[in-house]
Each structure stands twice: as C-alpha cells, then as structure tokens.
Structure 1
Amino acid sequence: MSVPKYQEYRDSGERWLGTVPSHWDVCRLKNLFEIRKRIVGEEGHQVLSITQRGIKVKDIESNEGQLSMDYSKYQVVNPGDFAMNHMDLLTGFVDISSHAGVTSPDYRVFTIRDGVLCDPRYFLYLLQNGYRQKIFYAFGQGASEFGRWRFPTDQFNGFRFPCPPHKEQNAIAAFLDRETAKIDALIAEQVTLITLLAEKRQATIAHVVTKGINPNAPMKDSRVAWLGEVPAHWEVVRIKRVISSIEQGWSPQCENFPISSADEWGVLKVGCVNGGVFRPTENKKLPPELKPVPAYSLKRGDLLISRANTRELVGSAAAVETDFDNLMLCDKLYRLRLHEARCTPFYLAAYLGTPQARSQIELEATGASSSMLNIGQSVILDLPAPIPSVAEQNEIQEFLRSETGRLDALNAVAERAIALLKERRSALIAAAITGQIDVRGAIPQAAIESSEAIAA
C-alpha cells in the first residue's frame, strides 16, 4: 500500500532519529514514564521474566532460572506496566505485562506518569523498535553488545524519542496493529509451509529406506514389530553386522570459536550432525599448546552419531562426504566405519533418522537430565536395519538427493519470504513511529476507536 509523507519536517536534534514531522514533540523518557521503585521482601509472588516471546511467569518449582526465594530486591509489576531487560544480550527488550507479580533487578519496570496522556501501544512499538535496531546500545555502557552491557537509569531517563499528539499515537498504533497482523499472518503461512515440507521430507526418506523405490516390489515381514514389512529381497540385520569399527573421540578443553584456516586443528561439536546433515563448521579450535591426534581426523565415508544430547537429538547421524584432515572426532560422537560391500554411510545415516529407528534410540537413551541423555554403543550396534544391495542403496541415495533437493529448494524460498516479510514489518514500524510516513488517513476513525478498545 502507498502511504504519504508529512508535508513539513524539522530536525529532531537526535542523530539516530533525524527529522520528524514539524508538529511532533521530541521528549525524554523521564517526562512521560516513571520507574517503579517499590520492592518486596515477602514470599508468595509470581516471578516474571522477559523473553523475546513476551513476559512470562517463571516456573519456580522446576527452578527455571529461579534459585532463591529472597524477594528483598525484587520489583512489583502490575498489569499494564512496561518491563525492560537492561542487562546483557536482551538489553533494551521491552514488553507490557499482562501479569501481576515481581521481577528481578535485571529488569527495569516503568509506567506512564499520572496525568500524562499516552497510548501505551505506540510507545511499545517505539521502544521495541529501539531494541531491534540496537538504538539503545549507543546510550548504554559496556564493552560490547555481546558482553556485560547495561542501559543505566540516567541514560534511560534522558533518552529522547518522538512524541506525536495523542490522537496521532492512536492512529499509528491502530495502523500498525492492522498492518503487522497482515504480515504476521503471511509469515505464519510460510512457517506452516516449512513445517509441511519438513514432514514431507522426513516421510519421503523414511518410506524409501524402509520400503524401497519400487512400489511393486514383493514385501515380507521383517520380524521386527516396529519396522513392519520390507522388500522381500532385502536383509534385516543388526547394524553391527555391516560395520568394521566403532570408536569415540577426544574432548580436550578448546577455544570457544571454530578454526579459521587449514593450518589450525579443530575438535567437532556434538551438534555437527543435528538434522542428519554433517556441518564441519560446528567445531572448536584446539589450543596451540595441545598436540592434535591425527588418528581422530575425519575421512570420507565416516558415519558420525551423537552419543550424548537431548532426547530429540541424541543418536543423530550424518555421513562425512570428504576428508577433513584437521578436524577431529570428539568424545560425544561415535564414528562408525562400514563394510563397503554391505552398506553405505549415506543409506545408514538416512535410516537412523527415520521415525522407526528414532523411536528405539530415544527409548534406550538414559540419563539423569533430559537436557543430556546418552546412548551406549550396544544401542546402535544391536539396532535392526533393513539392508538392500549396495547398488540399490546407491539408487536410493540418488533418488533422495533429487527429492530432498527439491523440497529443500522450496524450503529456502519460504525462508527467504519470511526474512523479507520480517524486514518489511520492521521497516513499516520504524517509518510509522518516527513520522517518515503519515498514516492518519490510512485507517478509519472507527477502526482506531475499536483498536483502542481492544487494547484497553
């Protein structure tokens, strides 16, 4: 849609803001908002936290980020209050609370001053845009946006931002409510498409590696209840019958960043096989004072399986398709080397990612914490697998490369569409709240009043 600009602009006096409509004010936060200073010491309150999905109530019983019941420094939060994270990576992220409760000193709680006429929705759009565009970083303190960064009270109170007349705030908020809802609906459609493509991809792989490509092939009972029928000319054997070796690697204390050249040595991270695709960039650099172990280097045809991870990821498998002489196996990965005349790594990796195989792996995974479960070598070695001839495995591989490639291309288009829609959403919000477009005539007064009533 085409939205006009205002007729007259003036310099706002703020570098980040530039020009604003000539009839708009530029206000300091402290003139419109006041920081809540009330603290509580007694127990029995809902503890709130701010995430990028909004303000939520912490689950204290599961110790979700809550190790103490001492509320002596906690702030009261009432429904309708603004709450902002003012430390670390989420610094500047803000939302309006729909809950009553308390929150830690890591958050700043503030509310519209008595007697000040403001549309909270407009200022929420404005403040969230300040977070997304990293505007607040220029006014804070800290070595880096990735370190212990803070948005101190004085800088918060002194921050200057555009303040249109109240009725214009209503119009901007109503316009953005309507337009962002449209964009969000389009994004949701693309997310649904991506989910369907992922399901189709998994179903295609699972069918082909357990039933074959030929729909007319005679079938037989696999004699494995959870596997069902397989092509009559396939074998069903335990995985240990098709491998020549299995081993684990080495997990020394490494740097927190990957290697950047072929002259450096890296140790794989367990997540390098997530999703059934090998990602060599998922590694940590070996410190120069440690001597590498070349025997753990990766070779083409290695089949890697995660032995320790969450329930959804433990047992993830991927085939290595080229040599990586300077990347080493870690202790949380199994490396299987297969009998080339019996089974290919691509086929076995695909099979291990099927719902049938995953169900057995997850069933056998053990551990005290759901965030780190383990599977023993025997779980993999004793797992039954349907094995066609190597020639048919290669045919299956080519078929799957073609089919998954087509699905992956569609997935990439959907992801690009989401990225463009998010860019459009962000640009539209930034333009409206800073007065770069005039939305007063873009939405009927009745819609503005309806939007106000819903927000209230």
Structure 2
Amino acid sequence: MSFPQYPEYRDSGVEWLGEVPTHWEVTKLSYITNRIGSGKTPSGGATAYVSKGVPFIRSQNVHDNGLWLDDIVYIDEETDREMAWSRVRPLDVLINITGASIGRSCLVPAGFGRANVNQHVCVIRLDKAAEFSSWAAWSMKAPSTKEQVKVSQTGAAREGLNFEQIAGFYLCMPPLNEQKKISAFLDHETARIDALVEEQQRLIALLKEKRQAVISHAVTKGLDPDVPMKDSGVEWFGRIPHHWAITKIARLFHIKAGGDLKAELFSVEKHGDFQFPIYTNATDSSYVYGYTSSPSFPAGSLTVTGRGDVGFAIFRDEEFEAIIRLLVLVPEKGVSSKYYTYLINSLLAFSEGKSAIAQLSADQMSPYQVVVPPFREQKDIADFCERESLKLDTLTDQAKNLIKLLQERRSALISAAVTGKIDVRGWTPPADSAPADQEARMEAV
C-alpha cells in the first residue's frame, strides 16, 4: 500500500518533525491542553489495593496499542477522593513518565468509567477533547514524539520526564477535518496490523506447546510406537517402555555447584591461555561471563540453573568453568547429557511440597527420579528432539521476525501520517472492513 505526498512542504522548524505540509501548523502540547499531571502511590503502597473499587492505572497498564487491564488493581472510594486531582476521564491521553516503559502512551476510550493513576503515569487532558484527543493520542505514539521523550529524559538512576518537558513537546496540527481523516485511517490500518501480530503470537504459543508435547512424549515414551509399556510408578512420567528403568539422577551424574573464581584464572576477554568459557546462572546458552585458562568441567556435561528460573538445563559441548549458583551435571559412562537436558527441561519441576523452590542445590537435585532408556535410545531420542526442535524453533523465529516487521511497519505508518509525509485525504475504508484472510492482509500491509 502506498500513498502520495502533499503537493507542498515547508520547514517545521523542529528537527525531529522535519518538513510538514505547507498548510499545517506546529504547536506545543501545552497550547492545546488544560491539564498535565500524574497521581501518587496511595498511603501504604500496595497494601492499599482492594479487590473491588476504583481502577488504579499503573505504567504496566499503559501500552501504545491501548490500555491493558488484565492486571489492573483497585483502590477504595476514600483513597480515590484523596487523589481526586489525578482522576482519569474518557478521552484523556496517558503517558508513562518513568522507567523502562517511558514514553508509552494511549487514549482513554470514550465511555471508560472512573479511574485514577499513580505517579508513574501522566494524564494529558485536551482543551477540546472530543476534537483533538484522537489526534493527540496518535501523535504521542509517533517516533518524532518518542525522540522528544528520549532527549528529555532526566534522572541519574532512572529515566524520567517532568510535566514541563511534556508540555513542551511539539505536535503537528493539520486542519480538524484532516486530523479526523488521518485518525480514522490509522485506527483502521493499525487494527489490521495488530490482528496480524496477534495471529503470529497465537502461532508462537501453539508452536511452543507442540515443541513441549513432542519432546515430552519422546523422552518418556521413546520412538517406537509399538513397544510394550509399563507403569513407571512416577506420576509425571506415567507409562514408560517396558525395558526402561527408573533411578535417581545422582546415579547417572556427578552433581556439583559452581564455585568462586580465582582472579589469576579469569579474563573478561578470550585470549592466550584463556580459551575456556565461564558460565553463570543464566538461561541464555550463548551467554559467557568470561574465560578461564583452567576449566573444571568436561565437554559433554550439562548445567542447571540454581536460582531465578530454577531448573533450566543447557548442554555444554566444550570444557568450561561454572560459578556459584549454577549446578553442573557430569555424566557417568553410558549416559547422554543431551537426552537428559531435554528431559529436565520438559518434565522436571523442582519444588518443595507445593511451592516452587527458591534455590536448587546439588543435594536437593540428587534424589529426583528420572527414566533410564538404553544408551543407544538416549542418543536416538536426543537426536530426534534436536531435529524437531530445530524445525519448530525455525518456524517460531520466522513468526517473531514477522512480528518485528509488522511493528516496524506500524510505527512507520503512524510517523508518516501524523507528520504529513503521506497524504491520506483520499483514503476511504473498504466497504467490508472485516479482517480478510491472512495472505490478503499481508499484501495490504
């Protein structure tokens, strides 16, 4: 889809807006608003939240594609009265002013009920909300505004915006009829893009479920569908091939926790004798803390995280060192570490009673029971899981890349429309605005 440019442009006088259509104005946000301010944390912090009451909007609820209310919290009527100045109205524009989500913004829908905000969310109230709010909301999502957010951040320890900075943001202001046309265009086109993104997100979830199911079945049932089965006696394994055994994981591996590093054996960079990776308690298999000249663990071992995301296993194909909180499992002869990497990640849930374990030690891991196929089967199953994982991971990566492209397209479309780089005055919504099939919609964006 392509659109013409406007016939004539002029310099906006604002670096990040560039040239704008000749008949457009450029104004500061303060000139079209009557309120820019935020709320506060209620007395008592999170203990002030109640199960029902007035919705209390926090930064995690404010997103560029709207309000996300799945994890909304509530305050009582008295707290809301004490914070009456920060109540939210329909058609207000909300923007996050601190933290990692700084600059994320959305429009409060028409008909939205009573709500309030905390100190991390700024309320922008337009003079003529019915006329300008939709345009202002789209303008706040544009890269030109994001750039103004970027250059305005304050705070040594944490990103932050103050109200004066927000009031000084520059917006393009086309005639009202064009504002409405451009807003309607963006409502329609971004909805189409968002529908595509949601489809890809659902696909990623399905691929993740399939990957889990394929691996779980392979590591507990094997690859021969006709093999006789028996009850394993272990709830999470169920029935297993008749010739497989059950044993404690400590009988298959020597389990040891990583230790402290010796300064003389450590280097941040890989050079000279320092050729062997040092791994930490991380779930990213490619993350390396540094390098050592004296590795403690052999290639073919596996590591398991002991803190944070407890119990995540990674196969290691070279000699290495491990530091504190990372468990290392060195296999006995006739044990495939690759097979048990898949088994641990798909089936073992490390817990104390009904609660997830906070820290996993070698002693805690040792008594966990695992299945024991013959070594040849372990290798065949590991190879099968590797092939199937690669297929599904490739499809997942393709879906993620498509989401990235769609999000970039969405951002570029908003930017071009609200800064006048494209002329959509001749645009009309399709007669049938219902989502078409995916191929047709991909052609549209």
TM-score band w.r.t. shorter chain = 0.7 to 0.9
1:216 aligns with 2:226: yes
1:192 match: secondary structure: helix
Counterpart selection for 2:387 from 396, 402, 408: 402
Which residue type is aligned with residue 285 of structure 2?
A: R
**Using the alignment, how far apart are the partners of 1:42 and 1:87 within structure 2?**
17
| 2:383 is equivalent to residue 384 of structure 1 | no
- CA separation of 1:14/1:199 partners in 2, compared to 1, >3 Å: closer, same or farther? same
Residues 338 and 99 (structure 1), Cα distance of their counterparts in 2 relative to 1, 3 Å cut: farther
> Deviation of residue 73 (structure 1)?
11
The alpha carbon displacement at 1:150 in A equals 3.4
Are 1:6 and 1:21, in contact at CA under 8 Å, matched by a contact in 2?
Answer: yes
Aligned to 2:101: 90
Q: For residue 267 of structure 1, report the CA deviation from its aligned partner.
A: 6.0
Matched, 1:7 2:13: no
Query: 2:13 is aligned with what amino acid?
Result: G
The alpha carbon displacement at 1:377 in A equals 3.9
C-alpha separation in 1, matches of 2:41 and 2:341: 55
**Residues in 2 aligned to 1:50 and 1:38: alpha-carbon distance in whole angstroms:** 11
Q: Secondary structure at the match of 1:373?
A: coil
Please name the residue that 1:33 is paired with: 33
Deviation of 1:222 (Å): 2.0
Matched, 1:111 2:96: no
Give the Cα–Cα distance (whole angstroms) in 2 for the partners of residues 238 and 148 of structure 1. 48
Q: In the aligned structure 2, how far is the partner of 1:301 from the partner of 1:185?
A: 44
Match in the other structure for 2:136 = 123
Task: State the distance in 2 between where 1:331 and 1:442 align.
Answer: 61
CA distance in 1, matches of 2:246, 2:231: 10
**Partner of 1:160 in structure 2?**
170
1:178/1:251 Cα in 2 relative to 1: closer, same or farther (>3 Å)? farther
Structure 2 unaligned residues grouped into runs of 5+ = 49-53, 434-445
Look up the match of 1:452: none
Q: Are residues 1:425 and 2:415 paired? A: no
Are the counterparts in 2 of residues 366 and 374 from structure 1 also a CA contact under 8 Å?
no
Q: Structure 1 regions of 5+ residues with no counterpart?
A: 62-67, 273-277, 287-291, 449-456
TM-score, with structure 2 as normaliser: 0.79
Per the alignment, do residues 428 and 391 of structure 1 end up closer, same or farther by CA in structure 2, a change over 3 Å counting?
same
Which shifted more, 380-389 or 6-15?
380-389
| Structure-2 separation of matches of 1:216 and 1:389 | 17
Inter-partner Cα distance in structure 1 for 2:339 and 2:129: 67
Once the two structures are superposed, the pairs formed by residues 16-415 of structure 1 within 5 Å of their partners are 16-36=16-36, 47-51=56-60, 52-53=62-63, 54=67, 59=73, 75-97=86-108, 98=112, 100-113=114-127, 115=128, 118-130=131-143, 133-141=146-154, 147-243=157-253, 245-250=254-259, 259-262=268-271, 268-272=279-283, 279-281=285-287, 283=289, 297-309=296-308, 313-324=309-320, 328-341=321-334, 343-355=335-347, 357-358=348-349, 361-362=350-351, 364=353, 366=355, 373-415=358-400
Distance 2:41 2:215 in 1: 57
After TM superposition, give the deviation of residue 117 of structure 1 in Å. 6.6
Quick one: structure 1 residues 84 and 40, their matched pair in 2 at CA, closer, same or farther if it must change by over 3 Å? Answer: closer
Aligned in 2, Cα 1:235/1:89: closer, same or farther, shift over 3 Å?
closer
Over 3 Å counting, the alpha-carbon distance change for 1:208 and 1:149 in structure 2 is closer
Aligned counterparts of 1:444 and 1:280: Cα–Cα separation in 2:
47
User: C-alpha separation between the residues in 2 aligned to 1:99 and 1:117?
Assistant: 16
1:46–1:100: 8 Å Cα contact kept in structure 2?
yes
Query: RMSD in angstroms over aligned alpha carbons?
Result: 3.7
Does the CA-based 8 Å contact 1:74-1:103 persist in structure 2? no
In the alignment, which residue of structure 1 is the partner of 2:51? Answer: none
